[in-house]
Structure 1
């Protein structure tokens, strides 16, 4: 493949990771107890209007949506996680519609949402550039991109270690890339980063502190 050729969009089957999904249903609960729930609240704080969440998983963000959100469209391609998200939607404080689909072809119209949310998902999307371009397309003028991700370390040794374990990490983690520079991807997509908080977080007792970011950016 030519280096400038965009990746082939994944098939529906490519996006199914039932073994990882079963593990993640438990891991996400434990991570939220260790501080992830507070991160999710920070991520969504102040949102209003119509919001699209890309890669909603089992719906761990739903309880933290501000009441000013009038509608939340939750996109989740993985069948097991989407089924769990539909169960979670009924208890959400805002109206939630859970839909299937891919990040590279968002199922909403151009300029029709007030905010797009990526939460611990840009690490596993095959073509994050295409996903961010789609986010820019569906956002209204002045709309916000919110993102919460684990990212490439700024420490040279840490970054080299992340790259070294990346092949195995992707196989066991549902396609997750531990060494993506999310801030650079967001800026390359034309977004203006308004706020970016960096911090270490251990999602499980056996995981060392991993570099994370919570950010807000405006549409190009």
Structure 2
């Protein structure tokens, strides 16, 4: 059972952090590229829904294990023409048939899943052979000094931020899960502490 902190405090903290302008700008770079039948891993509060193009997307199915966040996602702003379904589920055990999605969208999710390699394997399983994974994630910084601080801060950060990790690799983990990276960019997000601000985003396809 979720604690009072998880039920009432954490969603408010996540809303403030995840809807910050630098993060919303990153979402806007990735989400509009999705097309066809789309699966969103860790839909959270539905902050991506406003960026989907209903002219390109037939359906968005989002999964998240937190009932408090799913309730927020179902009421999140989006184009009224967008077909959206929000399901209970985890990225590591997706209740969908293989090769059943045109795109998978994963934004600021791999930091907090229990098993990122398993989540990526599941994303690859449910994608069609010509499908696309669109990702935007924060993770392990390339600068040794920043990475040192990430490792120092991570234990307390995880407890405060709903299991969010600071030191998980992003693009290399996606490639290791059997994806071919077709486009990738990275930077420190402006206006964000460097220990939490290293961001990698791009597009990948099943190898």
After TM superposition, is the score higher than 0.5? yes
Deviation at 1:38, TM superposition (A): 2.3
Q: Deviation per CA, 1:201-220, whole angstroms, max 9, x where unpaired?
A: 1466xx34711011110013
Q: Please give the per-residue CA displacement for 1:64-116, whole angstroms capped at 9, x wherever unaligned.
A: 00220110001111111110001126655410001111111112111000011
C-alpha distance 90-181 of structure 1, shift in aligned 2 (>3 A):
closer
CA spacing shift, 1:27–1:94, aligned 2, 3 Å: same
Residue 27 of structure 1 deviates from its aligned partner by: 2.6
**Equivalent position to 1:24, from 3, 10, 14:** 14
Contact 2:34-2:105 at 8 Å conserved across structures = no
RMSD between superposed Cα atoms in Å = 2.0
Q: Deviations over 1:126-167 (max 9, x none)?
A: 100000000010000011111111111101111111111111
Which of 69, 77, 92 is matched with 2:57 structurally? 69
Report what 2:142 is aligned to. Answer: 154
Distance (Å, rounded) in 2 between the aligned partners of 1:215 and 1:178: 19
- In the alignment, the residues of structure 2 paired with residue 163 and residue 45 of structure 1 have an alpha-carbon distance, to the nearest angstrom, of 33
Structure 2 distance, partners of 1:187, 1:163, is 23
Aligned pairs for 1:47-62 (under 5 A) are 47-62=34-49
Q: Which moved more, 1:207-216 or 1:167-176?
A: 207-216
Change (3 A) 1:132 1:92: farther
TM-score (norm 2): 0.91
Instruction: Give the structure 1 partner of residue 30 of structure 2.
Output: 43
* TM-score, length-scaled by structure 1: 0.86
1:120 alignment partner in structure 2:
108
SS for the counterpart of 1:45 is helix
How many aligned residue pairs are there?
A: 203
Cα distance in 2 between the residues matched to 1:75 and 1:149 = 17
What is the DSSP-based 3-state SS (H/G/I as helix, E as strand, rest coil) of the residue aligned with 1:88? coil
Q: 1:20 deviation in Å?
A: 1.5
3-state DSSP of counterpart to 2:136: strand
Structure 1 residue ranges, 4+ long, deviating more than 4 angstroms after superposition: 89-93
Contact 2:14 2:161 in 1 (8 A): no
* Distance of 1:74 and 1:38 partners within structure 2: 20
CA distance in 1, matches of 2:201, 2:185: 5
